[in-house]
Structure 1
């Protein structure tokens, strides 16, 4: 993972330098900054820095080297708990349907979004509180 962090920092420096060259070249050639390319390259640098920073935090919080990064690691060393996943849930389907209706309303007519809001709220509340009722109630 440390290699990934270093690669993204290198990409950050590359995109920042490329953005500076792009802006200077545009100023010398036309006399004004072409903002679409400058902002696009600048955001590439910023987003690469975000990813590098996030990966560095994850690497530090996991306690150093992962099993995938060590050359002497066995296959079973990387077989650990990967996270918690609910066994089944219909709430994401309801939330996705509400998002589909909302995007349909944004593309056709804005009043359709009003029909999506109650379904979205229902989906969010149901998903958050699904472990307080039914089979998985605590």
Structure 2
């Protein structure tokens, strides 16, 4: 996680000065003058989280400068390739965005659909009481 932390923390060195230069050249245009330094702050928060996470976990093959590709072999996680729940969540998100353009009454459809999709996705591999 060290390379990820550095990648995001170096973003602070770009976005903060660019935001200040933009604010100077645009005579204080409100959106960019505030937005660009805020992006720097958001990038800093992500980089700070990755830096704290890098302290808690063991070094990964990606963190070794002399690491070989073979060191990263094996299982990388548990994935559900045949899951339909991400499609339900995406449909709910698209209806929610449509609600902002067409009418807020569509949120009454999007929110329950999103809750059902998230609960189904979360409990997809559950066994026992919450099994499907």
Same fold, judged at TM 0.5 (above): yes
CA-atom RMSD, angstroms?
3.0
CA spacing shift, 1:110–1:43, aligned 2, 3 Å: same
Q: Partner of 1:131: helix, strand, or coil? A: coil
Cα deviation digits, residues 50-71 of structure 1 (max 9, x gap): 232133133223323x323434
The answer to whether the aligner puts 1:79 opposite 2:69 as a matched pair is no
Measured in 2, the distance between the counterparts of 1:67 and 1:120 equals: 37
Question: Aligned with 2:88: secondary structure?
Answer: helix
Q: Deviations over 1:20-65 (max 9, x none)?
A: 4554x36xx96xx33222112211221221232133133223323x
Unmatched runs of 5 consecutive residues or more in structure 1: none
Q: Measure the CA separation in 2 of the matches of 1:122 and 1:85.
A: 20
Counterpart of 1:53 (choices 48, 57, 61) is 48
Question: SS where residue 46 of structure 2 aligns?
Answer: helix
Rounded to whole Å, the distance in 1 between the matches of 2:21 and 2:83 is 51
CA distance in structure 2 between the partners assigned to 1:7 and 1:120 by the alignment: 33
CA distance 1:122–1:5, change in 2 (3 Å): closer
Please state how far the C-alpha of 1:12 moved relative to its aligned partner.
1.0
What's the TM-score once normalised by structure 2's chain length? 0.72
Contact 2:3 2:63 in 1 (8 A): no
- Gaps of at least 5 residues in structure 2 are none
SS in 2 for 1:130: coil
Aligned length: 130
Which of 1 and 2 has greater Rg?
A: 1
Q: Hey, what's the Cα distance between the residues in 1 that align with 2:75 and 2:121?
A: 23
Indicate conservation of the 8 Å contact 2:15/2:36, yes or no: yes
